[in-house]
Amino acid sequence: MDATLTWLDLTARDRDKMRHVLDLFKEQGTIDEMGLGTLRDAFSDTLFPGTSTIQTRLRYALFIPWIYKQFEASGVTAGDIAARARAAELDLIVPLQSSDDHEGTIGVRAGSSLARLPSSVYWASLVRWGIFQYPQSQGWYHTHFARLASQTARGVAADDPGVVALHRPNWHPRIPAPPTQFPNDISFTLTRSEAEFLQGRIEERCAGTLLAWLAREGTDAPSDGYFWMDRAAYDAPEGIRRTIELARRFSLHVEGMPLLYNLLLAERRHAEHASDDDLIERYRSNLDEWAAQEVEERTYDPNILWQFAATAGTRSPEPQRRFVEHWSRRVAEINPSKVVDDEDLRRLIEFRERQLKGPRARLSNPGRLLDWSGAVGVGRMSFRWYQVRRLLTDLLRGLVA
Protein backbone atom coordinates (compact mmCIF):
# COMPACT_ATOMS: atom_id res chain seq x y z
CA MET A 1 0.00 0.00 0.00
CA ASP A 2 1.46 3.37 -1.02
CA ALA A 3 1.96 6.13 1.50
CA THR A 4 -0.45 9.06 1.23
CA LEU A 5 -0.85 12.51 2.72
CA THR A 6 -4.23 13.64 3.98
CA TRP A 7 -5.16 17.30 4.59
CA LEU A 8 -6.44 17.62 8.13
CA ASP A 9 -7.81 20.67 9.93
CA LEU A 10 -4.57 22.63 9.79
CA THR A 11 -3.90 26.28 10.44
CA ALA A 12 -2.77 28.46 7.55
CA ARG A 13 0.81 28.37 8.84
CA ASP A 14 0.67 24.57 9.14
CA ARG A 15 -0.47 24.31 5.52
CA ASP A 16 2.34 26.58 4.37
CA LYS A 17 4.89 24.42 6.19
CA MET A 18 3.45 21.24 4.68
CA ARG A 19 3.65 22.71 1.17
CA HIS A 20 7.30 23.53 1.79
CA VAL A 21 7.96 19.92 2.82
CA LEU A 22 6.27 18.68 -0.36
CA ASP A 23 8.39 21.05 -2.44
CA LEU A 24 11.55 19.42 -1.15
CA PHE A 25 10.63 16.17 -2.88
CA LYS A 26 10.55 17.89 -6.27
CA GLU A 27 14.17 18.97 -6.63
CA GLN A 28 15.45 17.33 -9.78
CA GLY A 29 18.28 14.84 -9.31
CA THR A 30 18.30 15.02 -5.52
CA ILE A 31 15.63 12.63 -4.27
CA ASP A 32 16.58 12.10 -0.66
CA GLU A 33 17.17 8.34 -0.54
CA MET A 34 19.93 8.56 2.06
CA GLY A 35 18.38 11.11 4.42
CA LEU A 36 20.66 14.03 3.57
CA GLY A 37 17.96 16.47 2.52
CA THR A 38 18.29 18.74 5.55
CA LEU A 39 21.99 19.24 4.83
CA ARG A 40 21.34 19.85 1.13
CA ASP A 41 18.68 22.42 2.00
CA ALA A 42 20.94 24.15 4.52
CA PHE A 43 23.44 24.79 1.74
CA SER A 44 20.69 25.84 -0.67
CA ASP A 45 19.17 28.31 1.79
CA THR A 46 22.58 29.74 2.69
CA LEU A 47 23.66 30.20 -0.89
CA PHE A 48 20.33 31.15 -2.45
CA PRO A 49 17.94 32.44 0.25
CA GLY A 50 14.29 32.83 -0.69
CA THR A 51 14.46 30.42 -3.61
CA SER A 52 12.80 27.04 -4.07
CA THR A 53 12.89 24.12 -6.43
CA ILE A 54 9.57 24.93 -8.12
CA GLN A 55 10.15 28.57 -8.99
CA THR A 56 10.36 29.33 -12.67
CA ARG A 57 10.59 33.03 -13.57
CA LEU A 58 11.54 36.08 -11.55
CA ARG A 59 8.74 38.42 -12.61
CA TYR A 60 6.27 36.34 -10.60
CA ALA A 61 7.80 38.10 -7.59
CA LEU A 62 6.15 41.27 -8.95
CA PHE A 63 2.98 39.76 -10.39
CA ILE A 64 1.85 38.61 -6.94
CA PRO A 65 2.24 41.99 -5.16
CA TRP A 66 0.60 43.78 -8.08
CA ILE A 67 -2.44 41.49 -7.83
CA TYR A 68 -2.77 41.90 -4.09
CA LYS A 69 -2.20 45.66 -4.14
CA GLN A 70 -5.06 45.98 -6.61
CA PHE A 71 -7.34 44.03 -4.27
CA GLU A 72 -6.22 46.06 -1.25
CA ALA A 73 -7.29 49.20 -3.07
CA SER A 74 -10.65 47.78 -4.13
CA GLY A 75 -12.11 46.85 -0.75
CA VAL A 76 -12.07 43.06 -1.08
CA THR A 77 -12.97 41.30 2.18
CA ALA A 78 -10.85 38.74 4.01
CA GLY A 79 -13.48 36.12 3.27
CA ASP A 80 -13.19 36.72 -0.48
CA ILE A 81 -9.49 37.35 -0.92
CA ALA A 82 -8.33 33.75 -1.39
CA ALA A 83 -10.87 33.04 -4.14
CA ARG A 84 -10.37 36.42 -5.83
CA ALA A 85 -6.58 36.05 -5.77
CA ARG A 86 -6.80 32.52 -7.14
CA ALA A 87 -8.93 33.68 -10.05
CA ALA A 88 -6.54 36.54 -10.77
CA GLU A 89 -3.51 34.25 -10.74
CA LEU A 90 -5.20 31.79 -13.07
CA ASP A 91 -5.94 34.72 -15.38
CA LEU A 92 -2.18 35.16 -15.84
CA ILE A 93 -1.81 31.81 -17.61
CA VAL A 94 -3.23 32.70 -21.02
CA PRO A 95 -1.41 36.03 -21.59
CA LEU A 96 1.88 34.59 -20.37
CA GLN A 97 1.54 31.48 -22.50
CA SER A 98 0.72 33.71 -25.48
CA SER A 99 3.85 35.83 -25.07
CA ASP A 100 7.05 35.34 -27.05
CA ASP A 101 8.90 34.03 -23.98
CA HIS A 102 6.46 31.72 -22.24
CA GLU A 103 8.80 29.10 -20.79
CA GLY A 104 8.12 28.70 -17.07
CA THR A 105 4.44 29.67 -17.14
CA ILE A 106 2.86 28.09 -14.08
CA GLY A 107 -0.41 26.24 -14.68
CA VAL A 108 -0.28 25.67 -18.43
CA ARG A 109 -1.27 22.02 -18.14
CA ALA A 110 -3.40 22.16 -14.99
CA GLY A 111 -5.39 25.26 -15.93
CA SER A 112 -8.23 25.98 -13.50
CA SER A 113 -7.37 22.86 -11.47
CA LEU A 114 -3.92 24.23 -10.58
CA ALA A 115 -3.09 23.21 -7.00
CA ARG A 116 0.04 25.30 -6.37
CA LEU A 117 -0.61 28.89 -7.29
CA PRO A 118 2.32 31.19 -8.07
CA SER A 119 1.66 33.12 -4.85
CA SER A 120 2.29 30.03 -2.72
CA VAL A 121 5.39 29.19 -4.74
CA TYR A 122 6.89 32.67 -4.34
CA TRP A 123 5.61 33.75 -0.93
CA ALA A 124 8.83 32.77 0.86
CA SER A 125 10.76 34.92 -1.61
CA LEU A 126 8.45 37.89 -1.04
CA VAL A 127 9.06 37.65 2.70
CA ARG A 128 12.77 36.84 2.58
CA TRP A 129 13.53 39.61 0.09
CA GLY A 130 11.45 42.18 1.98
CA ILE A 131 8.89 42.71 -0.77
CA PHE A 132 6.10 41.71 1.61
CA GLN A 133 6.89 43.68 4.73
CA TYR A 134 5.83 41.20 7.41
CA PRO A 135 7.57 37.91 8.31
CA GLN A 136 4.28 36.07 8.06
CA SER A 137 2.68 33.37 5.93
CA GLN A 138 0.29 33.91 3.07
CA GLY A 139 -2.44 32.40 5.24
CA TRP A 140 -1.80 35.05 7.90
CA TYR A 141 -2.05 37.75 5.26
CA HIS A 142 -5.37 36.38 4.00
CA THR A 143 -6.78 36.12 7.52
CA HIS A 144 -5.95 39.75 8.30
CA PHE A 145 -6.40 41.04 4.76
CA ALA A 146 -9.23 43.53 5.29
CA ARG A 147 -7.65 45.06 8.38
CA LEU A 148 -4.21 45.24 6.78
CA ALA A 149 -5.54 46.90 3.66
CA SER A 150 -7.73 49.46 5.39
CA GLN A 151 -5.32 50.42 8.17
CA THR A 152 -2.36 50.70 5.87
CA ALA A 153 -4.41 53.07 3.71
CA ARG A 154 -5.34 55.14 6.79
CA GLY A 155 -1.83 54.94 8.25
CA VAL A 156 -2.95 54.05 11.80
CA ALA A 157 -2.04 51.28 14.22
CA ALA A 158 -4.11 48.18 14.82
CA ASP A 159 -5.93 47.19 18.00
CA ASP A 160 -5.85 43.53 16.98
CA PRO A 161 -2.94 41.77 18.75
CA GLY A 162 -2.56 39.53 15.69
CA VAL A 163 -1.72 42.55 13.52
CA VAL A 164 1.08 44.79 14.73
CA ALA A 165 3.10 47.79 13.62
CA LEU A 166 0.78 48.77 10.79
CA HIS A 167 2.36 52.18 10.32
CA ARG A 168 4.39 50.45 7.63
CA PRO A 169 2.88 49.41 4.29
CA ASN A 170 2.15 45.80 3.50
CA TRP A 171 4.41 45.89 0.46
CA HIS A 172 7.75 47.58 -0.09
CA PRO A 173 7.03 51.26 -0.79
CA ARG A 174 9.33 51.40 -3.81
CA ILE A 175 7.87 48.46 -5.67
CA PRO A 176 7.44 49.55 -9.31
CA ALA A 177 3.91 50.12 -10.57
CA PRO A 178 2.51 47.43 -12.85
CA PRO A 179 2.31 48.01 -16.61
CA THR A 180 -0.85 49.80 -17.66
CA GLN A 181 -2.07 46.67 -19.46
CA PHE A 182 -1.57 44.38 -16.42
CA PRO A 183 -2.75 41.64 -16.13
CA ASN A 184 -3.35 41.49 -19.90
CA ASP A 185 -0.68 41.37 -22.60
CA ILE A 186 2.16 40.66 -20.17
CA SER A 187 5.38 38.67 -20.35
CA PHE A 188 8.25 37.56 -18.14
CA THR A 189 10.54 40.30 -19.44
CA LEU A 190 11.57 42.65 -16.64
CA THR A 191 11.88 46.36 -17.27
CA ARG A 192 15.05 48.03 -16.10
CA SER A 193 13.32 49.67 -13.13
CA GLU A 194 11.76 46.35 -12.09
CA ALA A 195 15.10 44.56 -12.33
CA GLU A 196 16.83 47.30 -10.31
CA PHE A 197 14.17 47.04 -7.62
CA LEU A 198 14.53 43.25 -7.32
CA GLN A 199 18.30 43.51 -7.41
CA GLY A 200 18.17 46.00 -4.55
CA ARG A 201 15.87 43.79 -2.49
CA ILE A 202 18.13 40.77 -2.92
CA GLU A 203 21.29 42.74 -2.18
CA GLU A 204 19.86 44.31 0.94
CA ARG A 205 18.09 41.32 2.42
CA CYS A 206 20.53 38.60 1.32
CA ALA A 207 23.82 40.42 1.76
CA GLY A 208 26.83 38.13 2.01
CA THR A 209 25.26 35.32 -0.01
CA LEU A 210 26.08 33.96 -3.43
CA LEU A 211 22.64 35.00 -4.65
CA ALA A 212 23.29 38.64 -3.76
CA TRP A 213 26.77 38.53 -5.26
CA LEU A 214 25.58 37.11 -8.57
CA ALA A 215 22.65 39.54 -8.65
CA ARG A 216 25.25 42.32 -8.76
CA GLU A 217 28.30 40.77 -10.42
CA GLY A 218 26.91 37.88 -12.49
CA THR A 219 26.27 37.77 -16.21
CA ASP A 220 23.05 37.11 -18.10
CA ALA A 221 24.48 33.72 -19.10
CA PRO A 222 25.17 31.89 -15.80
CA SER A 223 26.97 28.57 -15.95
CA ASP A 224 24.82 25.78 -17.35
CA GLY A 225 26.88 23.37 -15.24
CA TYR A 226 27.18 23.74 -11.48
CA PHE A 227 27.32 27.13 -9.76
CA TRP A 228 30.89 26.54 -8.62
CA MET A 229 31.75 26.54 -12.33
CA ASP A 230 30.24 30.00 -12.86
CA ARG A 231 32.83 32.62 -13.76
CA ALA A 232 31.43 35.29 -11.46
CA ALA A 233 31.41 32.89 -8.51
CA TYR A 234 35.21 32.59 -8.76
CA ASP A 235 35.51 36.28 -7.88
CA ALA A 236 33.13 36.22 -4.91
CA PRO A 237 34.38 37.38 -1.49
CA GLU A 238 36.22 34.84 0.61
CA GLY A 239 33.30 33.99 2.90
CA ILE A 240 31.03 33.18 -0.04
CA ARG A 241 33.76 31.18 -1.78
CA ARG A 242 34.23 29.17 1.39
CA THR A 243 30.54 28.20 1.41
CA ILE A 244 30.70 27.38 -2.31
CA GLU A 245 33.62 25.04 -1.68
CA LEU A 246 31.87 23.37 1.27
CA ALA A 247 28.85 22.71 -0.91
CA ARG A 248 30.93 21.46 -3.85
CA ARG A 249 32.98 19.12 -1.69
CA PHE A 250 29.95 17.76 0.17
CA SER A 251 28.12 17.17 -3.10
CA LEU A 252 30.97 15.13 -4.53
CA HIS A 253 31.70 13.17 -1.36
CA VAL A 254 28.16 11.92 -0.84
CA GLU A 255 27.47 11.28 -4.54
CA GLY A 256 28.87 7.81 -4.05
CA MET A 257 26.11 6.90 -1.61
CA PRO A 258 23.15 6.82 -4.04
CA LEU A 259 25.38 5.27 -6.72
CA LEU A 260 26.21 2.38 -4.41
CA TYR A 261 22.57 2.15 -3.35
CA ASN A 262 21.40 1.83 -6.97
CA LEU A 263 24.12 -0.74 -7.66
CA LEU A 264 22.81 -2.82 -4.74
CA LEU A 265 19.28 -2.55 -6.14
CA ALA A 266 20.43 -3.67 -9.58
CA GLU A 267 22.35 -6.61 -8.12
CA ARG A 268 19.46 -7.63 -5.88
CA ARG A 269 16.96 -7.52 -8.71
CA HIS A 270 19.32 -9.43 -10.99
CA ALA A 271 19.69 -12.14 -8.35
CA GLU A 272 15.94 -12.48 -7.95
CA HIS A 273 14.78 -11.93 -11.53
CA ALA A 274 17.85 -12.50 -13.72
CA SER A 275 17.66 -8.96 -15.10
CA ASP A 276 19.47 -5.61 -14.99
CA ASP A 277 22.91 -6.75 -16.16
CA ASP A 278 23.36 -3.47 -18.02
CA LEU A 279 22.41 -1.49 -14.93
CA ILE A 280 24.95 -3.33 -12.82
CA GLU A 281 27.70 -2.44 -15.26
CA ARG A 282 26.50 1.14 -15.51
CA TYR A 283 26.60 1.72 -11.76
CA ARG A 284 29.95 0.01 -11.35
CA SER A 285 31.27 2.32 -14.07
CA ASN A 286 29.66 5.36 -12.44
CA LEU A 287 31.22 4.47 -9.09
CA ASP A 288 34.62 4.13 -10.75
CA GLU A 289 34.22 7.59 -12.27
CA TRP A 290 33.16 8.99 -8.92
CA ALA A 291 36.10 7.34 -7.17
CA ALA A 292 38.54 8.83 -9.66
CA GLN A 293 37.32 12.31 -8.70
CA GLU A 294 37.04 11.62 -4.97
CA VAL A 295 40.59 10.29 -4.71
CA GLU A 296 41.92 13.61 -6.02
CA GLU A 297 40.36 15.50 -3.09
CA ARG A 298 41.49 15.89 0.47
CA THR A 299 40.07 13.38 2.93
CA TYR A 300 36.58 14.52 3.82
CA ASP A 301 36.17 15.85 7.36
CA PRO A 302 32.53 15.68 8.54
CA ASN A 303 33.29 18.00 11.45
CA ILE A 304 33.41 20.89 9.00
CA LEU A 305 29.95 19.87 7.78
CA TRP A 306 28.53 19.85 11.32
CA GLN A 307 30.07 23.24 12.01
CA PHE A 308 28.40 24.62 8.90
CA ALA A 309 25.05 23.04 9.82
CA ALA A 310 25.19 24.58 13.30
CA THR A 311 25.99 28.00 11.87
CA ALA A 312 23.11 27.63 9.41
CA GLY A 313 20.74 26.70 12.24
CA THR A 314 20.18 23.19 10.88
CA ARG A 315 19.77 20.31 13.29
CA SER A 316 21.75 17.18 12.44
CA PRO A 317 20.02 14.11 13.92
CA GLU A 318 22.36 11.57 15.48
CA PRO A 319 21.54 8.79 12.96
CA GLN A 320 22.40 11.16 10.11
CA ARG A 321 25.68 12.12 11.75
CA ARG A 322 26.67 8.50 12.39
CA PHE A 323 25.82 7.57 8.80
CA VAL A 324 27.91 10.34 7.21
CA GLU A 325 30.81 9.83 9.61
CA HIS A 326 30.85 6.08 9.01
CA TRP A 327 30.84 6.62 5.23
CA SER A 328 33.62 9.22 5.40
CA ARG A 329 35.80 7.18 7.73
CA ARG A 330 35.50 3.99 5.69
CA VAL A 331 36.08 5.72 2.33
CA ALA A 332 39.29 7.18 3.77
CA GLU A 333 40.39 3.79 5.12
CA ILE A 334 39.95 1.73 1.98
CA ASN A 335 40.44 4.29 -0.82
CA PRO A 336 37.47 5.42 -2.95
CA SER A 337 38.34 2.94 -5.70
CA LYS A 338 37.35 0.04 -3.42
CA VAL A 339 33.97 1.41 -2.38
CA VAL A 340 32.15 -0.46 -5.15
CA ASP A 341 32.84 -3.89 -3.57
CA ASP A 342 33.28 -2.98 0.09
CA GLU A 343 31.01 -5.14 2.26
CA ASP A 344 31.07 -2.71 5.18
CA LEU A 345 29.74 0.17 3.07
CA ARG A 346 27.21 -2.10 1.40
CA ARG A 347 25.85 -3.05 4.83
CA LEU A 348 25.87 0.63 5.81
CA ILE A 349 23.75 1.63 2.81
CA GLU A 350 21.29 -1.21 3.38
CA PHE A 351 21.00 -0.36 7.08
CA ARG A 352 20.45 3.31 6.29
CA GLU A 353 17.60 2.52 3.91
CA ARG A 354 15.88 0.31 6.51
CA GLN A 355 16.43 3.01 9.10
CA LEU A 356 14.72 5.60 6.92
CA LYS A 357 11.97 3.52 5.29
CA GLY A 358 11.32 0.57 7.54
CA PRO A 359 9.28 -2.14 5.77
CA ARG A 360 9.15 -0.04 2.57
CA ALA A 361 12.91 -0.35 2.02
CA ARG A 362 13.53 -1.62 -1.52
CA LEU A 363 16.47 -3.79 -0.52
CA SER A 364 14.30 -5.82 1.82
CA ASN A 365 10.86 -5.51 0.21
CA PRO A 366 10.49 -7.56 -3.01
CA GLY A 367 7.44 -5.60 -4.15
CA ARG A 368 9.20 -2.28 -3.74
CA LEU A 369 12.26 -3.67 -5.50
CA LEU A 370 10.15 -4.49 -8.55
CA ASP A 371 8.89 -0.90 -8.59
CA TRP A 372 12.43 0.50 -8.81
CA SER A 373 12.75 2.53 -12.01
CA GLY A 374 16.45 1.82 -12.53
CA ALA A 375 17.69 5.14 -11.16
CA VAL A 376 16.67 6.91 -7.99
CA GLY A 377 18.40 9.76 -6.18
CA VAL A 378 21.48 9.72 -8.41
CA GLY A 379 23.36 12.80 -9.57
CA ARG A 380 25.29 15.45 -7.73
CA MET A 381 23.38 17.88 -5.62
CA SER A 382 22.83 21.14 -7.48
CA PHE A 383 21.39 23.12 -4.55
CA ARG A 384 18.61 24.69 -6.71
CA TRP A 385 21.07 26.08 -9.23
CA TYR A 386 18.92 25.07 -12.19
CA GLN A 387 16.08 27.26 -10.89
CA VAL A 388 18.33 30.05 -9.59
CA ARG A 389 20.20 30.47 -12.87
CA ARG A 390 16.85 31.07 -14.63
CA LEU A 391 15.92 33.74 -12.06
CA LEU A 392 19.33 35.38 -12.40
CA THR A 393 19.10 35.32 -16.19
CA ASP A 394 15.78 37.19 -16.00
CA LEU A 395 17.24 39.71 -13.56
CA LEU A 396 20.47 40.46 -15.37
CA ARG A 397 18.83 40.73 -18.77
CA GLY A 398 16.38 43.19 -17.28
CA LEU A 399 19.22 45.32 -15.96
CA VAL A 400 20.51 45.93 -19.48
CA ALA A 401 17.08 46.45 -21.03
* pLDDT tens readout for residues 237-248: 999 999 999 999
pLDDT on residue 113 = 93
pLDDT on residue 167 = 61
Say yes or no: 155 and 244 in one domain: no
Answer whether residue 297 is part of any domain: yes
C-alpha 20/C-alpha 110 separation (Å) is 20
Q: What pTM value is reported for the model? A: 0.88
Say yes or no: 191 and 256 in one domain: no
Say yes or no: 181 and 139 in one domain: yes
Say yes or no: 248 and 329 in one domain: yes
- The number of domains in the chain is 2
Distances (CA, A) of 233 to 212, 236, 393: 11, 5, 15
Answer whether residue 379 is part of any domain: no
pLDDT in tens, 280-319: 999 999 999 999 999 999 999 999 999 999 999 999 999 9
Q: What is the mean pLDDT of the chain?
A: 90
Sequence-distant (6+) residues with CB within 8 A of 384 are 27, 44, 48, 51, 52, 53
Would you tell me the crossing angle of helices 302-311 and 37-47 to the nearest 10 degrees? Answer: 60
pLDDT on residue 155 = 55
By residue range, what is the domain housing residue 285? Answer: 33-47+239-371
Q: What single-letter amino acid sits at 310?
A: A
C-alpha 390/C-alpha 281 separation (Å) is 35
User: In the beta sheet, which residues pair with residue 171?
Assistant: 132
Q: What is the mean pLDDT of residues 360-366?
A: 95
Answer whether residue 132 is part of any domain: yes
C-alpha 348/C-alpha 323 separation (Å) is 8
C-alpha 199/C-alpha 95 separation (Å) is 25
C-alpha 283/C-alpha 270 separation (Å) is 13
Say yes or no: 217 and 247 in one domain: no
Distances (CA, A) of 325 to 257, 300, 304, 363, 378: 13, 9, 11, 22, 20
pLDDT on residue 163 = 52
pLDDT on residue 272 = 85
pLDDT at 21 over 80: no
Q: What is the mean pLDDT of residues 211-227?
A: 95
